[in-house]
Structure 1
Amino acid sequence: MSVQLQTSRPNASAKVAAKKSKPSRKKSSSWITLFFYTLLVTFLFGMIFTVWFYLTESGTNFRYMMADTLISTQHRHWGAYLIGQNELDKRVEQYWKRFDDYSDVKDNHLVQVPSSSNPSSSAAAAKPHVPEKPLVQIEPIEGKNFKGYLLTVSDPKKIRIAVPGKVGKGEKVTSMVQRLGAVAGVNAGGFVDPEWMGNGFQPTGIVMSGGKIFYNDGGMNTANHVVGIDKDGLMITGKYSPNELLKMGVQEAVTFAPRFIVNGQGLIKNQADGWGIAPRTSMAQKQDGTIMFAIIDGRQPGYSIGATLYDIQNVFLEHGAVTAANLDGGSSTVLVHNNKIVNKPSSEYGERYLPTAWLVFEDPANAAIKNIWEGLDKSKIDPSKW
């Protein structure tokens, strides 16, 4: 009896152990199956995506959109992995050719800026009282992939180009607004920016403020893409030399491109020609002289990826723009009102140091804007030295 009892217990334990081991084998087998199914699905998805990305019209359009987006960032060279270096170089060349073509479109001068925001003539006084428009208004705007703000300035003659207050580096727009007592400000023209980490002190092209040339990196007869305002409050866009700008009575100007609305007509025909998706700052003018700035946030998934110039063109046209042009964007894009940043700049380093900003003043004649580059040897400016 004792022998039988001793032998029966190990057999029962073995059966229990065998039963316990079966679920663990099934569990490990299930995980292996799931892993291989996942691997297979990933492989198939990758194959389908690759075929779509490189061999279909919609995929190719998406690739070029991505390349266009990279063109305006510090990672432009990455675009070569999407469309090849030759195509990338060709794409950049095509854009600049198109920008030059846009600048050749004749402006029929449809904008009629009132001679005075406060008419004092007896004829004007006889008219029924019309409530005066606020100098500055800000409204949120958004589209499929972007969010931002529209800054409206009722009197174009209240806008000035501001520059840094100290030699050697640029200045944040918040600092310019506070230092000069402005109501609002946005970033303006382009600048030399080594590795997209420059000090923001050396502009590109031309800078004009108060009717004077503050900076010019070419000859007096060298044409630049210009965004400006003349003595009558008319927005000036296109390609002009410094001598031409002086003869035209231009007061405020920076260099950037392209102009994309002329005579109330959009020049950009579709999203594919919209120069990629990015944070944007652009400027426009309505027929009554009102100036609009579009400030679009980007590079922030979940909030705002960015906009194409085609998107901005549509926003401006919906708000009655007659003329419009692009300004510096990307990590420089910023809107300041009442000494506070309104938008969400994309720069990982915070608000950037810049050489120029469009500032709005209640009394622009008393704005103490001085030419910080006067007397400097431009060839000795080091844009990378902080």
Structure 2
Amino acid sequence: MNPSSLPQRSTVNKKRKSKKRKKKSFFRTLSKVFLTFMILILAAGGWFYLAPSARNFRFLVADTLITTQHRYLAKYIIGEDELKNRVSEYSSRFEQMGVEEDTHTINTVKPQEDIVNPLVEIENVSGSGYTGFVMIVNDPTKIRLGIPNKVGSGEKVSHMVTRTGAIAGVNGGGFADPNWKGNGFKPIGVVISQGKLYYEGLGGKDSTQIVGLDTKGKMIAGKYSLEELSKLDVQEAVTFQPRLIVNGKGLIKNAAEGWGIAPRTAMGQRADGAIIFVVIDGRQPGYSIGANLYDVQQILLEHGAVIAANLDGGSSTVLVKDNKIVNKPSSEYGERYLPTAFLVFEHPEQADIANIWEGLDPYKIDAGKKRTP
């Protein structure tokens, strides 16, 4: 064998050393990247939990968690005691936001030649981190409260719209949902439809915060007793809070008081009687994260609201028009089954809305029971 045809030992050693150096260099670089990443995480964590400048951001994150089914996670952000204080503080503040006397008046009687707007108008709205819709209902007397038609189960708003012949609808009041999958059949507080008390679950309380309309189409929102609601001739109403606007002024001072970021639904009224529904999508990165209540309040004020109140939001938020879902509901289970919805009719006197809770004891309804097919 010709010795010159054999690989030179020095050349082989050089190649081996070069590979080892490259391998060591790669792991050194990887170690540096990992170390840098860990330092950044620790620094961010230190800032998030310890820096005074991060306090507002911490509470924003906590408030956002409080609006979800994962409320308990907020204790890892602000502590369990602070979480309880935060929830209590919001509850107290929301109660106070509902007590100022509402003195707004409306004029729904217009000369025939001035009536040029369609009954329902929908426009897109957007802001920092959120996308949504505003629906204007130019005649408030065309709105009725829709409820389910089967005992033991709520109903999707899209189904209510189709079943009742409505032209549009949005989700209404809240409901008990112990397992977060919601059969949607046990409302919170009261439900008033067509001037009658369909459901009363106040648990001995003498008043509740409601959102609704009287027989003339005037919006009623705030804290009232059942006797007061009767005297006010309230025709359609659900329990929910907080009231956002009263006598033309916003009640939420700034974004820090906006109760976190979430999908939102709210209802307001202009001085001419037109009803304003705001529907904001959320919990969908890349499309819409959500809005706080201050954002919603400002949208309503910009559209001329003189009174407004929050409705059930989160994964319940939905807007339906002409039998189609306009927005993008955030629920992982799809459109939710709900106990109430505000529906718009061309001919509301023809709407057939029976009391599905008649004869039932509200305190014996199993809110966690599986929906009936």
AA matched with 1:363? H
Distance 1:88 1:235 in 2: 34
Q: Is the 8 A contact 1:70 1:76 kept in 2?
A: yes
Does 2:165 correspond to 1:181?
yes
The corresponding residue for 2:106 is 112
Aligned 1:1-386 pairs, distance under 5 A = 6=3, 10=6, 12-109=7-104, 111-114=105-108, 116=109, 124=111, 129-218=113-202, 222-386=206-370
Any idea what the Cα deviations from partners look like across 1:89-112, whole Å, max 9, x if unmatched? 000000010011111223222x32
Unpaired runs of 5+ in structure 2? Answer: none
Structure 1 Cα separation of the partners of residues 347 and 53 of structure 2? 52
Distance 2:72 2:147 in 1: 31
C-alpha deviation, 1:245, in angstroms: 0.6
1:225-274 deviations in whole A, cap 9, x for unaligned?
Answer: 10010112111111111121111100000000000111111111111110
Q: Which amino acid aligns with 1:196?
A: W
Q: CA deviation at 1:219?
A: 6.7
Q: CA deviation at 1:36?
A: 1.7
Alignment partners' CA distance in 2, 1:161 and 1:220: 24
Q: Which moved more, 1:344-353 or 1:194-203?
A: 194-203
Distance 1:265 1:138 in 2: 24
Residue deviations 1:156-196, cap 9 Å, x none?
A: 11001110011110000010000000010000000010121
CA distance in 2, matches of 1:141, 1:257: 23
Return the offset for 1:375: 0.9
TM-score (norm 1): 0.92
Give CA deviations for 1:115-168 in whole Å, capped at 9, x if unaligned: x45xxxxxx57xxx3242110000010111100100110011100111001111
Q: Identity of counterpart residues, as a percentage? A: 55
Letter of the 1:250 counterpart: V
Q: Is the 8 A contact 1:113 1:234 kept in 2?
A: no
Structure 2 letter corresponding to 1:41: T
- CA–CA distance in structure 2, aligned partners of residues 106 and 381 of structure 1: 34
Q: Deviations over 1:19-54 (max 9, x none)?
A: 322331222122112112112211221232123212
Uncovered stretches (5+) of structure 1, i.e. residues with no partner: 118-123
AA partner of residue 40 (structure 2): F
Q: Distance in 1 between matches of 2:334 and 2:8?
A: 68
Q: Which amino acid aligns with 1:74?
A: Q
Distance 1:348 1:236 in 2: 33
Residue deviations 1:203-229 (CA, integer Å, cap 9, x gap): 010000100000001378720110010
Q: Please give the alpha-carbon distance, in whole angstroms, between the structure 1 residues aligned to 2:234 and 2:250.
A: 24
**23-32 or 184-193: which moved more?**
23-32
- Post-superposition shift, 1:65? 0.7
Kindly indicate whether the alpha-carbon contact (under 8 Å) linking 2:318 and 2:335 is maintained by their aligned counterparts in 1: yes
Report if the CA contact (8 A) 1:284-1:324 is conserved.
Answer: yes
Structure 1 or 2, whichever has the larger Rg, is 1
Q: Under a length normalisation based on structure 2, what TM-score does the superposition of the two structures give?
A: 0.96
Q: Secondary structure at the match of 2:97?
A: helix
- Runs (4+) off by over 6 Å: none
User: What amino acid does structure 2 have at the position aligned with 1:85?
Assistant: E
